[in-house]
């Protein structure tokens, strides 16, 4: 399936299945949107800092030790997708920002103290999800300036700001940050494909499969079953084969198209993530050098 077919399939699905839900959610969100406002209140926090966009892919497990080292630095801003929050909070990592575009009820937030994190929320996100959020919220609309969406954005408020979608919440985070003057952009856990487990440890998915795990269906089997249901395509990267679906493949194409014309350098620690032809694949050591600098790393090695 080529790019245009993937994009067309995603757009048809959103338009036919989600439009009514968007409208219902927006009606319920109006009071909160009026109270909290849009992206203008938060964009200044992404200027002159290293921004780390944290996805919920399996590879995030390997990056948790790095995030523990940097998450309290004044020059580092963590922006986590909604699904990744559990993995961060349970490891003592409080992200500066989270982002959600989930339009169906999902219990991402209620188990955690989110009061110190600001949520970037799609204006038509699930109201039940937003009600369980304890911190500030900044809303945005999708950058689809045509009917029937335009009427929704007018109801939400055209001053909220518009964000390109790219089919996943991680691509929406990336589209926001690439428009702002940050020092650097690094993406973690944006695997966009499956290897052994669908998500990193600690995310809400694991709680949803706990009821079916037993000695006959261990966690590994439940993970394989979940991946099998989401498997639409196989992709090869180096000597490994991963499986992916329409949504992740569309996001991969979208990011690669964006980076192929952008002058911004984006670093990636995801596996497999975006192809190294378009993004700068970096190691843990290279990430530390990016944040701490060569001099700090040399001092640490001498000790």
DSSP string, 107-142: -SSTTS--TTSEEEEETTS-HHHHHT--S-EEEEEE
What pLDDT, on a 0 to 100 scale, did the predictor assign at position 45? Answer: 97
Least confident span in 99-103, 114-118, 153-157, 295-299:
295-299
Average pLDDT, integer, range 250-256: 92
Average pLDDT, integer, range 174-191: 96
% of the chain exceeding 90 in pLDDT: 67
pLDDT at 113 over 90: yes
Torsion of CA 78, 81, 191, 102, to 10 degrees: -170
Distance CA 139, CA 123 (A): 6
* Closest listed residue to residue 225, CA positions, set 197, 187, 250, 193: 197
What pLDDT, on a 0 to 100 scale, did the predictor assign at position 209? Answer: 56
Residue 84: helix, strand or coil by DSSP? helix
Average pLDDT, integer, range 85-110: 95
Structural domains of the chain, ranges and CATH numbers in brackets: 3-293 (3.90.1480)
pLDDT grade for 277, boundaries at 50, 70 and 90: very high
Neighbours of 63 (CB within 10 A): 22
Least confident span in 69-78, 93-102, 248-257, 287-296:
287-296
Look at strands 240-244 and 233-237 and give their pairing.
antiparallel
What pLDDT, on a 0 to 100 scale, did the predictor assign at position 172? Answer: 96
What pLDDT, on a 0 to 100 scale, did the predictor assign at position 300? Answer: 43
**Cα 158–chain centre separation:** 24
What pLDDT, on a 0 to 100 scale, did the predictor assign at position 303? Answer: 38
Q: Tell me: the pLDDT tens digits for 206-224?
A: 666 555 555 555 556 666 6
Least confident span in 68-72, 74-78, 214-218, 230-234:
214-218
Radius of gyration of the chain (CA): 19
What pLDDT, on a 0 to 100 scale, did the predictor assign at position 230? Answer: 63
Distance CA 283, CA 290 (A): 11
Distance CA 12, CA 14 (A): 6
Tokens of 235: 């992709």
* Closest listed residue to residue 173, CA positions, set 15, 41, 52, 50: 52
Q: Let me know: does 77 contact 97? Beta carbons within 8 Å.
A: yes
pLDDT at 162 over 70: yes
Average pLDDT, integer, range 187-205: 85
137 versus 5: which is more confidently predicted?
137
Least confident span in 6-10, 79-83, 125-129:
6-10
pLDDT grade for 8, boundaries at 50, 70 and 90: low
What pLDDT, on a 0 to 100 scale, did the predictor assign at position 218? Answer: 58
pLDDT at 280 over 60: yes
What pLDDT, on a 0 to 100 scale, did the predictor assign at position 208? Answer: 62
How high does pLDDT run on average in the chain?
A: 87
Distance CA 37, CA 273 (A): 33
Which residues does 190 contact at the CB level (< 8 Å), separation at least 6?
Answer: 53, 55, 57, 170, 268, 270, 273, 274
Average pLDDT, integer, range 51-61: 96
């Amino acid at each position: 399936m080529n790019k245009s077919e993937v994009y067309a399939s995603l757009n048809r699905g959103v338009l036919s299945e989600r439009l009514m839900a968007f409208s219902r959610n927006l009606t319920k969100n109006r009071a909160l949107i009026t109270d909290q406002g849009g992206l203008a209140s938060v964009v200044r926090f992404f200027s002159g800092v290293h921004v780390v966009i944290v996805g919920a892919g399996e590879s995030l497990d390997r990056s948790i030790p790095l995030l523990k080292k940097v998450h309290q630095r004044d020059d580092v801003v963590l922006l986590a997708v909604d699904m990744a929050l559990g993995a961060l909070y349970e490891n003592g990592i409080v992200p500066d920002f989270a982002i959600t575009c989930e339009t169906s009820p999902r219990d991402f937030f209620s188990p955690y103290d989110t009061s110190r994190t600001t949520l970037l929320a799609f204006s038509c996100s699930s109201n039940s999800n937003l009600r369980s959020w304890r911190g500030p919220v900044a809303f945005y609309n999708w950058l689809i300036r045509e009917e029937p969406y335009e009427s929704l954005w007018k109801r939400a408020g055209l001053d909220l700001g518009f964000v390109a979608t790219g089919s996943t919440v991680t691509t929406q985070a990336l589209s926001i940050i690439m428009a702002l003057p940050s020092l650097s952009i690094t993406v973690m856990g944006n695997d966009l494909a499956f290897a052994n487990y669908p998500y990193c440890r600690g995310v809400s998915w694991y709680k949803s499969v706990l009821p079916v795990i037993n000695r006959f269906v261990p966690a590994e089997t439940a993970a394989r079953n979940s991946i099998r249901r989401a498997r639409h395509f196989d992709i090869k990267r180096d000597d490994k084969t991963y499986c992916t679906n329409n949504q992740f493949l569309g996001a991969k194409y979208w990011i690669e198209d964006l980076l192929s014309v952008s002058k911004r350098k984006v670093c990636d620690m995801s596996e497999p993530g975006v192809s190294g032809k378009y993004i700068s694949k970096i190691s843990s050591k290279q990430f530390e050098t990016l944040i701490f600098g060569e001099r700090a790393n040399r001092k640490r090695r001498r000790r």
